[in-house]
Amino acid sequence: MGEKPICESLIIVRYIDEVWTDGPGILPLDPYDQAMALFWAPYVDDKLWPTLRGLRNAEGEEAEAAALEQVMEVIMLLEDAFAKCGKGKDFFGGDTIGYLDIALGGFLGWLRVTEKLTDIKILDESKTPGLFGWAHRFGSNAIVKDVIPETEKLVELIKMLAARAKAQ
């Protein structure tokens, strides 16, 4: 990259995939599968993150119920996407972690924080078996497990940021 910075995490992941070609690719080789991964990855950024934040910040039972409904709509669509993109394999990318796995995996720590702070199980083995299993496999993968932030550290960060916001 040198003096040519690249912004936006999903674009950086694609750049890495295109520049370092000596290993397995991150994007699917099949054009349709690639199109699906390229569709769902921004969906994660644009839909999952705001709904998780909305659930964490919801005040009152009615607001929390509405926020949870929004989160679950997003999660259920991702559950369906996992079934279609993963084709019965361990990851969205098939047998190995791919582009969409990386996109969603980047939010796995925040999803766990939201579950902890709200005491609501979002990824549930009975309601979202595909994503539940995927999250376990992704989080325990040797390449990933040491880079996912610890839930407790993220909880501390959120509490610190909330305290700062209230102080202002």
- pLDDT tens figures, 48-72: 999 999 999 999 999 999 999 999 9
Cβ-contact 116, 153 below 8 angstroms? no
| pLDDT for residue 152 is more than 70 | yes
Q: Looking at residues 118-122, what average pLDDT do you find?
A: 95
Q: Looking at residues 33-38, what average pLDDT do you find?
A: 96
- Buried (b) or exposed (e) across 85-97, using 16+ Cβ within 10 A? bbeeebbbbbeeb
| pLDDT for residue 158 is more than 80 | yes
Q: Which alpha helices (DSSP H) does the chain contain, by range?
A: 9-19, 31-43, 49-57, 61-86, 99-105, 108-118, 129-140, 151-167
| pLDDT for residue 1 is more than 60 | no
Mean pLDDT of the chain: 93
- The gap from C-alpha 98 to its chain's centroid, in whole angstroms, comes to 13
- What is the share, in percent, of the chain residues with pLDDT greater than 90? 81
At 6 the pLDDT is 87
Cβ-contact 94, 28 below 8 angstroms? yes
As to burial, measured by CB atoms within 10 angstroms (0-12 exposed, 13-18 middle, 19+ buried), residue 60 is: exposed
User: What values do phi and psi take at 71, rounded to 5?
Assistant: -60, -45
Give the count of alpha carbons within 13 A of 161, CB side only. 9
Cβ-contact 133, 92 below 8 angstroms? no
